[in-house]
Chains A and B, each alone.
Chain A
Amino acid sequence: MDNGEIFTPASEITAARGKDEKGGIPSKRAVDEDKAKRAGQVHFKAAHGLVVAFFTFILILHVAGIYLFTSGFLLTRLVLDHKSECAIPPIEPARAYISGDAQKGCWHPRTFGKAVVIIIDALRYDFTVPFEAQFEPTDLAAAAASPHPPPVAPRHFHNAFPVLYETAQKQPNNAFLLPFIADPPTTTLQRLKGLTTGTLPTFIDAGSNFAGTAIDEDNLVAQLRNASKRIVHLGDDTWHALFPGYFEPNLTHAYDSFNVWDLHTVDNGVTEHIFPLLKAENLSKWDVIFGHYLGIDHAGHRYGPDHPAMTAKLNQMDEILRRMISELDNDTLLVVMGDHGMDTKGDHGGESEDEIEAALWMYSKKGLFGRSSPAHTAPPANAKVRPVGQIDLVPTLSLLLGMPIPFNNLGKPIEEAFIGKKGADFENLAIVNRLAGAQIHRYQDEYAKARGLDESIRTTSLALWAAAETAWGSLGKRSNSAQFQEVYSAYGAYQRDTLSICRALWARFDNPKMLSGVTILASSLIVLATYARGLQGDRSDLTPVFFTRGAIGAVAGALVGFGASFALPEMPREHVLIFSTALYGILGIVSTFYSIRHRVLSPIPASIWGWTSVFFTLALSVGFAANSFTIWEDEILLHFLTTFGVLAVISSFRQRNKIDRTLGIYHSVLFTVLLRVASFSRLCREEQMPYCKSTYYASALSTTSAPWQLAIPAAAALLVPTFIIGYFEGTKSYQNTAKLWLGLGLRFGLMLAAAYWALDAADDGDWYPEWNNVISITKRAVAQIVLVISLAFGYSIYNWSKPLLSIIVNESQDKDGAPKEAITVLGYANVHGSRYALLITVWYLAIALLQKPMGAGAIGILVWQLFSLFEIVDTNSLHGSSIGPVVLGLLGSFHYFKTGHQATLSSIQWESAFIPLTKIRYPWTPVIVIMNHFGAQILCAVAVPALVFWKIKPQQKGLLGMLAKAIATHMLFYATINLATTMWAGHLRRHLMLYRIFSPRFMLGAASLLVVDVVAIFVSLWGARMSMLSVAEIFGFGG
């Protein structure tokens, strides 16, 4: 607004409070002023504290709603504590087999006495199949025309690990190789649970990957231990979280699993300790070895599959396995498998095809394996052919090793392992499938009992069971192979049907909980919306009432809930308690609206800006009901933000003041063009293919940056501080501490951040192999220094900075020739805005460091856009409008995508935790990953107060109320998105795309709401307090 007032005569500033200054005794005046100032401070601090308390109350409501919904939405499965026992087979054994002797085999004669089970983390099926066997020689012309051309040349991950395929093809009786389909979520901990219990994991466990807890349901490892087998574990330490104390302590060696930067420690450790155990003199020391290699998984996370490091890793595995085959004794079974695959960038966690398609290979020198048809001798060319489930491993291994099948198992024995070397022993197949089927049948009975399930759900599977049993009963001594085959397939049909019933059953949602969650979220949204947009006058003087009544309501609700939980014994107590506390709290706030109803405004927007804000928010929210609009959210955000840019140009053209008009047009165009520039940074999600080209990393198949991208952080370090200084210079606010911080601290910090990424590239690419150690230590030190500069040094400067003002005394002569003093104040025009904006740059430095080089560019552009947005808001007088906070919400979400993220679990850049640290440290690691993941949203939330402060008068009345309004509006945007994604996820809970699209988007919506809430309250609102106090030191509170 007051653009012209760069130089402000001091008389104008003091005039406002100068009335009583005339004639007063100076010392007394000073005392009075001091008193008034202190009283003002106390009043401000109290009012501010209550605003913080009110928003914290809203945050708690959000947490309560999200918690209730999540606990009802993420799948839950009742874990039965039953254990299978060696002496108690689920059904009368066939061929009069006497069960109970683990040495001979519990339920079925055992085949192997010992086993070496190797898990190669993230071993995707197509890594093991030669390129020539996977793809026909490609006709280049035809390939160019087709929409999904097959690859024409081998990638780095092809042909590097041929030993599995070779042995399976050349010695079909000794080995077989099959696609091994994982059940999502494809995180290692979940997969290990599935691989050892034979049951389907449920989603609620997905988050506990890094703090796993012991498995207490029946599983293969526990069965082995009960049978006094000596189990050795080598490799990934996740096993110890799942099976604490199960392994032979002096032979077992576990390694940290989370350091994805390290490709070799775990693998070398496993290799070092496994081969001595295979030597004849050590064979008596163990029965089963579990070896877990992590190198391929880490190479995928760090470089992506299409990288020479992956070739090297696969070659290493090839070598190890060849050696293992040659050193293996005759009675030992060797199993190699991947626990999941990896997507095109080497990450996993979701349920895309590349993520679930792992490989399984079994080998023994006994030559017992077979194929049901000669055509099946060669392993399948791709994972769509003859796949087996990962849950099938448990019954297979159990029966081969003579163990009972774990109680909760749902898998079936793998055909190749039991069909005999001639491929015709259907009798054996029928027997083992009958055993597995009977165990499933027993489990189903118990589960139905425990859960009180209706028989009707199981009618089809019970009928199939009865049919299989009848077929079995009709067999005689002289039955031929075809009859056995029939029985075998009858039990197979029963197992398949039960599995699908279980899948459907465990996709059961707790609807009352979900509804309660949505109710809390929806009603807190209405409260927040009314607070943000539907109140007249200063909010800060009403907030105490809101908070008090809300708190009283919550306490009353807690009491009522406590009482009600006795009246409703069938409902979980925490559910009733949380729901009633939150609801009564909301009612308390609503009662305030009723008491002050003369100040409540119509919620319908009054201006085109209001309508635009509502439209952007609601259109996005509605769009999340469609998977296409969710997939293409990044492009939609670009579309909306550009629309805002165009509207800002139009609005700027309407301004009458020529300076406002020109500045407004300039910044609107700049804002819009920067959007498009930033939009070149993309990391496509799988569903966007083939219409999207990833640019975030060196290639679509890697997670490392190209060397040229290293120039981006350096360019940002050179340019962005200069641009920011430009915005400060515009009002002569580039003074005092701004010079120290922007001119020195920020510049230096950004340079160091650029240096970090150069060092990181050198370390990653082995540019100077002999210096690797030095480089890797130096880069972490550099990263830590940057964080110290930002969060310690920068924050201190921000905290103790004076307003960015300086006073110039001009001595001149007036007309009569008498000397005259003219005092001008520099930086007066933007005293609030410039003071607060320092905080944005402090956070900018920390967040820029934690983004990959391309992301550092996107974040730099974001900061530049923020300042342009402040100018647009100011020149168009939109300080109090909803459009500013809403555009910040859109901008934060937009740059979320531009910093290499997507609404998918696999896009979380876990490795960012290791930028400043070598190992996991709580609480720093989660904080760093959050700052990497939500960096853009965090910066935008920090920027909200500046929308209000930018170029506003120092003594503006009701500034705190305006601030609360803006922050509430910003939270409202995320709360609306969260409510919408929550509702859609709940509503579309049977949708095919639930786990691929709607559920991850819901998680993103909930997580970003909570992060933004916390940042808006404890960084923005708290930071604004420091800034406002320091401005008030000089100008007093506006009142």
Chain B
Amino acid sequence: MSTKIIDPSAPKPKPPTATPIEPLKTDIARIYTYLHTLVILALYAYTFPSIVADPVPALLGILAPLAALQVAFVAVCLPPTGETPKVKKSKPGEKKRHVPGRVESGVNGTIVPAFLSLLLTALAATPLLTATLVLFGAPVTTHHLHTLLCGAHIALLSTLPLVYVHGVNGETWRQIVALLLPVDEVYGGLIGTVLGAWLGAIPIPLDWDREWQKWPVTIVTGAYIGYAVGKLLGGTVLKGKKIMFA
């Protein structure tokens, strides 16, 4: 239910056994979590022709709806983190203030963290992911907006829910980057998005001369499909599984 918060001053020899994130137990949450995936895919499918025709304005155009949908999704379906950036600053010691789903937490408990997550996604995750795209071979001298928007879409899909449920604790994020957390709906979404975007690079070099092979259409498409698949699998069959490296 809730994430474990590790005290960084007391390093443990073994990584903590974090539990997968459970979506909220409300009916609306249970329905909307599936509905949300469909809505996002539908939104993308609907705009796909205009993205192919001219990626920059089209991707920019659905950025705000995507952000709104993701914010709505996390606020409705997911438990917020035990600590938001501001809370951490003022009262670092307190632990058991939040019980997910409690009514009085209301706006403070869900909407504020959701928007803080959005802010962090925009300011931290987007530049980082854009830089990663460039490392993978995205053009450096041209197509800046294309790449940036691609990074923004990937960030919104993958990172926003993660920030919402896990906050900004350093050790938690080390585990997130290290792929040490057990798979759940949110983590599955991240892994799926990234894998999808990675696989999206495959059709680019093919000599099919299709419009949709242009940068960054395949990457974004891969990310959306990957997000949907990863979120679905992470929430169901793969739930609780851990990724082993060696």
Contact = CB atoms under 8 A, between A and B. Distances in A.
Interface of A: 606-609, 626-629, 631-632, 635-636, 638-639, 642-643, 645-646, 649-651, 653-654, 656, 672-673, 675-676, 679-680
A635 B177 contact: no
A608 B245 CA distance: 5
B205 interface: yes
27 contacts: A607-B244, A607-B245, A607-B246, A608-B243, A608-B245, A608-B246, A609-B246, A628-B206, A635-B137, A638-B136, A639-B136, A642-B135, A642-B137, A643-B198, A646-B132, A650-B177, A650-B179, A650-B245, A651-B245, A653-B174, A654-B179, A654-B245, A656-B13, A672-B135, A673-B135, A676-B134, A676-B135
Contacts of A672: 135
A656 B198 CA distance: 28
By secondary structure, the B interface counts as loop
B178 interface: yes
B246 A626 contact: no
Interface string B126-150: 0000001011110010000000000
A628 B180 contact: no
A632 B198 contact: no
In order of increasing CB-CB distance, the 9 nearest A-B pairs are A653-B178, A632-B205, A654-B178, A607-B246, A628-B206, A628-B207, A628-B205, A608-B245, A642-B136
A631 B205 contact: yes
B201 interface: yes
A672 B132 CA distance: 10
Contacts of A680: 140
Contacts of B198: 643
Nearest to A619: B202
By secondary structure, the A interface counts as helix
Interface in B159-217: 174-175, 177-180, 198, 201, 205-207
Given A635-B137, A639-B201, 8 more contacts: A608-B246, A642-B137, A643-B198, A646-B132, A650-B178, A656-B13, A679-B137, A680-B140
Among the interface residues B174, B180, B205, which one has the most CB atoms of the partner chain A within 10 A? B205
Contacts of A649: 177
A627 B208 CA distance: 11
A367 B217 CA distance: 63
Contacts of A607: 244-246
B206 A626 contact: yes
B207 A675 contact: no
A649 B13 CA distance: 20
A680 B178 CA distance: 30
Nearest to A655: B178
Nearest to A691: B205
A639 B132 contact: no
Contacts of A636: 205
B137 A638 contact: yes
B193 to A, nearest CB: 14
Nearest to A656: B13
Contacts of A608: 243-246
Contacts of B178: 650-651, 653-654
Given A607-B246, A642-B137, A654 B180 contact: yes
B131 to A, nearest CB: 9
Contacts of B13: 656
A996 to B, nearest CB: 13
Contacts of A653: 174-175, 177-178, 180
B245 A629 contact: no
Nearest to B137: A638
Interface in B1-30: 13, 15
Contacts of B245: 607-609, 650-651, 654
B198 to A, nearest CB: 7
B205 A675 contact: no
B138 to A, nearest CB: 10
Given A626-B206, A632-B205, A653-B178, A645 B246 contact: no
A502 to B, nearest CB: 30
A975 B58 CA distance: 46
A580 B212 CA distance: 52
Contacts of A627: 207
Contacts of B180: 653-654
Nearest to B194: A646
A993 to B, nearest CB: 10
Contacts of B201: 639
Nearest to B13: A656
Given A639-B201, A653-B174, A653-B178, A675 B135 contact: yes
Nearest to A643: B198
A607 B178 CA distance: 15
A973 B199 CA distance: 23
B178 to A, nearest CB: 4
A912 to B, nearest CB: 28
Nearest to A612: B245
B205 A629 contact: yes
Given A609-B246, A653-B174, A653-B177, A635 B135 contact: no
A470 B159 CA distance: 81
A676 B139 CA distance: 11
A673 B136 CA distance: 10
A627 B207 CA distance: 8
A474 B92 CA distance: 109
B135 A645 contact: yes
Interface string B107-128: 0000000000000000000000
Contacts of B246: 606-609
Contacts of A639: 136-137, 201
Contacts of A638: 136-137
B135 to A, nearest CB: 5
B118 to A, nearest CB: 25
A673 B137 CA distance: 11
A767 B169 CA distance: 62
A898 B193 CA distance: 31
Contacts of A626: 206
A608 B244 CA distance: 7
A602 B245 CA distance: 18
Nearest to B206: A628
Nearest to B176: A653
Nearest to B244: A608
A676 B15 CA distance: 33
Contacts of A609: 245-246
A626 B174 CA distance: 40
Contacts of B135: 642, 645, 672-673, 675-676
Contacts of B205: 628-629, 631-632, 635-636
Contacts of A654: 178-180, 245
B95 to A, nearest CB: 25
Contacts of B136: 638-639, 642-643
A642 to B, nearest CB: 5
B151 to A, nearest CB: 15
B187 to A, nearest CB: 13
A900 B206 CA distance: 23
A648 to B, nearest CB: 11
A631 to B, nearest CB: 7
Contacts of A656: 13, 15
A651 B180 CA distance: 10
A643 B245 CA distance: 15
A639 B135 CA distance: 8
Nearest to A658: B11
Among the interface residues B140, B177, B206, B246, which one has the most CB atoms of the partner chain A within 10 A? B246
A654 B175 CA distance: 7
Contacts of A606: 246
A649 B137 CA distance: 18
A605 to B, nearest CB: 11
A672 B175 CA distance: 21
Interface string B203-237: 00111000000000000000000000000000000
Contacts of A632: 205
A342 B136 CA distance: 34
Contacts of A643: 136, 198
B245 to A, nearest CB: 5
